[in-house]
Amino acid sequence: MRALEALRQLSRELQAAGLQEPQREALALLQGLLQIELTALYRENPSLSQEELERLREAASRRARREPLQYILGWVDFAGLRLRVGPGVLIPRPETELLLQHALALAPKDRPIEVAEPCSGSAALALALAKALPLAQVWATECSQEALGWARLNLRQLGLEQRVHLLHGDLLEPLRGMSFDLLLGNPPYVPTGKLRGLQPEVSLWEPRQALDGGPDGLDIIRRILREAPSVLRPGAWLLLELGGQQEAAALARKAGLRDIQLKEDLAGQVRFLLCRKPL
């Protein structure tokens, strides 16, 4: 079968499975799995082997079960980096790139700095930050061994072992006794009661411990804000991604943090908390 015919067939299968954008996804699967450039696809319309057709059929049936496209492809692009992802780790989201941009705007660039990133998942933030700040050393923590496996793969692939340190453990516990110039994190923040209402790609496939933030979504955020002052240097910034929880600002104030700001994402939702330890 030729590639364009396979593309149309894949698109029909994804449409029949009820997916919203079957053509775009079929093209992404065909290009991503078979490494066919768009121009080559339309100009040359190559013949596909039985093995290639089988890979497309398998991908279609995985996607029909609402497995995320990124797990099927095995990668996602984040802040210009291609990261490996799969079951067991959260797929880094575009809004988290905005968190990274806020952190880069505030981070000192003229001297070596030490950065903490609890709740690291695939290590997307830690790696992108280290890539953008050549003088930074980053310590990332993660409680899930499965997620850490993906993070280690990404760390090796990007060759940042000298400057990004992945630690297994609970939030800031592995960093006890250390101090940092910057702390950023994207903790789980979905209120438990809202988990079932998420789209199936998220609720059925992504790890619950990457999403579940407790009854009000603030369980982990509350703990980070309480524990962070003991590892922040005077004047150090702390940035967290939120799921709309404006109460995070009051929690930061209660923890003795200052210069508190809430920032919105591109959709106008309160998405980020920025604050810092007083000088």
Ligand X SMILES: C[S@@+](CC[C@H](N)C(=O)[O-])C[C@H]1O[C@@H](n2cnc3c(N)ncnc32)[C@H](O)[C@@H]1O
Closer CB to ligand X, residue 14 or residue 126?
Answer: 126
- Residue 273 in contact with ligand X, rule: CB under 6 A: no
* Segment near ligand X (CB under 6 A); pick from 10-18, 44-52, 62-70, 183-191: 183-191
Residue with the closest Cβ to ligand X?
121
Applying the rule CB under 6 A, the residues between 50 and 89 that interact with ligand X are none
Size of the site for ligand X (CB under 6 A): 23
- Residue 142 in contact with ligand X, rule: CB under 6 A: yes
Nearest to 83 by CA among 150, 136, 164, 132: 150
Amino acid at 18: G
Bridge partners of residue 77, in order along the sequence: 82
Task: Phi first, then psi: give them for residue 80, nearest 5 degrees.
Answer: 85, 0
* Tokens found for residue 121: 């998942």
- Residue 248 in contact with ligand X, rule: CB under 6 A: no
Would you call 28 exposed, middle or buried from its count of C-beta atoms within 10 A (0-12, 13-18, 19+)? Answer: middle
- Residue 118 in contact with ligand X, rule: CB under 6 A: yes
Asked if residue 205 lies in contact with residue 71, where contact means CB atoms within 8 angstroms, the answer is yes
Please give the Cα distance from 219 to 199 (Å, whole number). Answer: 22
Q: Minimum CB separation from ligand X for residue 141, in Å?
A: 5
- Residue 210 in contact with ligand X, rule: CB under 6 A: yes
| Positions in the binding site for ligand X (CB under 6 A) | 90, 92, 96, 118-122, 124-125, 141-144, 147, 170-171, 186-188, 209-210, 220
